[in-house]
A = this chain, B = another copy of it.
Amino acid sequence: MTLPPLAPDTLDRLRRISTPTLTTQLFKAGFRNAFLAGVRPLCPDRRMAGEAVTVRFAPAREDRAGYEVLADPNYPQRHAIENIQAGQVLVMDCRGVGTAANAGDILVSRLQVRGAAGLVLDGGIRDYPSVQMFGFPVYALGPAAPAHVVRHVAVDENVPIGCAEVLVMPGDIMVGDGEGVVCIPRAVADKVATHGLEQEELEAFILEKIRAGAPLPGTYPPNEQTLAEYETWKRRRGTI
């Protein structure tokens, strides 16, 4: 699968845009369901942006889910981690099960060593307190001690998946901040990056005005006069 190219600075721009702003831009582009609700950062002060590669888990069954499968280098969970490219984000479809862990300190370390941009899953993380110390962007439902084999078996790599009830296609752009994760359909990533930065700047101006006592009407959303003031402010301040 060859993916259409992104503009060279799109990932850098997206990394600087907050997830609330991204969801607003996606709403305006026709996408209402892009935020992975309930998926929370282990390192809230790290930002993340990168192309999605995916792993899919299905329900465990006694004949297929045991520790022995983990030694197979083609087991999708292990294979996807071992083959991730620098800058990519691994996204796992864990069917929203928070009571089992789809990765722990060793697997997250391998992702980090390989230069991955992050890990996103609608499942649990084990060794949670340790992984919080890694300074690596991990987004999950929360801590869970049991290994994934008590509930899941990995069955596929790099297919379209659902994660926290959001469609994630391989090659989509995952962006994370201290609030959570947004999936940006690849085809609109360049546009969202451009408009998103503009919105961030406008809202910084609006927030400044509101904190100085401006009323909501006319300020938020801004009317023409406020937009004109903004243009002046922006010129005075220099660009982003």
List chain A positions with a Cβ less than 8 A from chain B: 18-20, 22-24, 27-28, 30-35, 37-38, 40, 44, 58-64, 67, 70-71, 73, 78, 81-82, 95, 98-99, 101, 104-107, 109-110, 113, 126-129, 143-147, 149-150, 153, 155-156, 159-162, 165-167, 177-180, 182, 185, 187, 203, 206-207, 210-211, 213, 215-217, 220-221, 223
Contact = CB atoms under 8 A, between A and B. Distances in A.
Contact of A28 (B19, B67, B98): B67
A179 B203 CA distance: 32
A234 B157 CA distance: 36
Given A20-B145, A82-B217, A113-B211, 12 more contacts: A20-B104, A31-B62, A37-B98, A58-B160, A59-B165, A63-B187, A71-B223, A109-B211, A128-B179, A129-B177, A153-B160, A155-B159
A150 B182 CA distance: 14
A39 to B, nearest CB: 11
18 contacts: A18-B145, A19-B145, A23-B146, A24-B147, A31-B62, A31-B63, A34-B146, A70-B220, A73-B217, A95-B95, A95-B162, A105-B207, A106-B210, A107-B216, A110-B216, A128-B179, A144-B180, A153-B167
A58 B160 CA distance: 7
A136 to B, nearest CB: 11
Query: How many monomers of this protein are in the complex?
Result: 6
Central interface residue in A78, A105, A167, A206, by most chain B CB within 10 Å:
A167
A207 B150 contact: no
Contacts of A167: 58-61, 64, 153
B44 A129 contact: yes
B143 A179 contact: yes
A104 B44 CA distance: 18
A165 to B, nearest CB: 5
A237 B220 CA distance: 53
A27 to B, nearest CB: 7
